[in-house]
Structure 1
Amino acid sequence: MADTAIFDVDGTLVDTNYQHALAWYRAFRRFDITLPLWRLHRGIGMGGDTFVPELAGADVEAAHGDELRQAWTQEFDELIGEVQPLQGAHELLQEVKDRGFRLVLASSGQSKHVEVFLDLVQGKSLADAWTTSEDAETSKPAPDLVQTALKKVRGASGVMIGDSVYDAQAAGKLDVPTLAVRTGGFSVEELKDAGAARVFESLTELGEHLDETVLARPRA
């Protein structure tokens, strides 16, 4: 039985994925690199350390990697005011917390961005811990962030709730099951192929079916 619920933040609790993609598009354009937005969107969920070489290649990473990540930060800062919580985010966190699970809000984002997102979902008062880019040496799909999340609350057994194939892949490397929501734009088949145990259309639908998952209310 799981004792810890690890919620991905970007794209799962807050609707950020298209802002992320647009910020990356603009960052690459600063270096006269044009990547189609659909390709950039498909990479959202990976951390910036893996995103650049995966999407643009090792040569671009070697030549411009750190500058691209800095440019992305500047571009995303201009868009962050548009970000809104996804429907049912706070209510789902509250319900999971009320069921007695440890609650970790896991992000590989920068601290200043994570602070904004946690406020949007009123997460600070509910979470036992949260993570930022400072907490993991390598970002998803590496398992570092999931492992760190469990360690922060001394969890023995976790469940990942995420929106991307990278969430499921990272959790799967630690034998942590994933409950996926389609808010990241990935298909049901892609999420299941990546290792998700169940896939839901939204956080609201997940909340309605919690008792069919490892987040079921503990029996008396």
Structure 2
Amino acid sequence: MSAGDDATAVDTVLLDVDGTLVDSTYLHAVAWMKAFTGRDLAPQWWRVHRAIGMGGDRLVAEICGADVEEALGDTLRDDWERHYRGMVGDLRPCPGAREFVRSLVDSGLRVALASSGKAEFTDAALKVLDLDRDALAAVTSSDDADSSKPAPDILSVALEQSGGTRAVVVGDTVWDVASAHRLPADCVGVMSGGFAEAELRDAGAVLVVEHVGELAERGWRP
């Protein structure tokens, strides 16, 4: 059921993590570029940035093609993971992210982190955000779904695990918007991951703001 159908009230907010709650988009881009150049591949930076938010199982083929995915996909993902792990200490919250999540929880909504990233990196984000995992209805990782964004799988898992029935998604990329529509659900876009307002709106975001802190300041509720 889409968020535009009034038959059932929205009871769940599904939150992307990277680029939405923590300022990690460019750390991921650097880690991926190190992985590529370490294997004598030289994609342009803009292509790497534009693919962040897409699951790692899709990203290599998106940037370098199916042949590279077949030959080096798992190796590149291992290299990315190693490089990103070394950057986790540079993670910081997006403006107002902690306050935003806590305000949603305090309002009685089910709040789930719908991330298809590695569990250890989501745990690092929770630590940076100073959020109690027990206050969240669900926290997902790449182990929870076979196919990553823009497929809706991780959102479906997060909604099911949260015990909710109808959700709104908050994310920072066109991939988040696409996966929300396939759930189906409305998506609120934030520009903290580097996508422009027009791009997020063109993808179908029902609302676009600079960062989640702006939603907190507005007292936004679905």
TM-score, structure 2 normalization:
0.93
Could you list the per-position Cα deviations for residues 45-72 of structure 1 after superposition, in whole angstroms to 9, with x for gaps in the alignment?
A: 0010000001110000011000000000
1:179 aligns to what? 188
Matches of 2:128 and 2:187 in 1, distance apart? 24
> Which amino acid letter does the alignment assign opposite residue 187 of structure 1?
A
Matches of 2:189 and 2:134 in 1, distance apart? 24
2:6 aligns to what? none
> Which amino acid letter does the alignment assign opposite residue 183 of structure 2?
L
Q: Is structure 2 residue 158 aligned with structure 1 residue 168?
A: no
> Which amino acid letter does the alignment assign opposite residue 159 of structure 1?
V
Q: Is the 8 A contact 2:170 2:188 kept in 1?
A: yes
**How far has the Cα of 1:122 moved from its partner?**
2.1
Q: Is structure 2 residue 209 aligned with structure 1 residue 200?
A: yes
2:150 aligns to what? 141
Give the 3-state SS of the residue equivalent to 2:168 in structure 1: strand
**How far has the Cα of 1:11 moved from its partner?**
0.6
2:3 aligns to what? none
Q: Is structure 2 residue 77 aligned with structure 1 residue 69?
A: yes
Paired residue total: 213
Q: Is the 8 A contact 1:93 1:126 kept in 2?
A: no
Could you list the per-position Cα deviations for residues 73-109 of structure 1 after superposition, in whole angstroms to 9, with x for gaps in the alignment?
A: 1111111111111111110011111111001011111
2:111 aligns to what? 103
Shift >3 Å, 4+ stretches: none
TM-score, structure 1 normalization:
0.94
Q: Is the 8 A contact 1:6 1:159 kept in 2?
A: yes
Matches of 2:129 and 2:33 in 1, distance apart? 27
Matches of 1:165 and 1:187 in 2, distance apart? 10
Structure 2 regions of 5+ residues with no counterpart? 1-8
| Aligned-residue RMSD, C-alpha | 1.0
Could you tell me which of 63, 85, 90 is aligned with 1:55? 63
1:118 aligns to what? 126
Could you list the per-position Cα deviations for residues 114-142 of structure 1 after superposition, in whole angstroms to 9, with x for gaps in the alignment?
A: 11111111222431110000011100000
Matches of 2:102 and 2:120 in 1, distance apart? 24
**How far has the Cα of 1:193 moved from its partner?**
1.4
Could you tell me which of 44, 59, 62 is aligned with 1:36? 44
Could you tell me which of 86, 92, 97 is aligned with 2:94? 86
Matches of 1:55 and 1:32 in 2, distance apart? 14
Could you list the per-position Cα deviations for residues 181-205 of structure 1 after superposition, in whole angstroms to 9, with x for gaps in the alignment?
A: 1001111111011111000011121
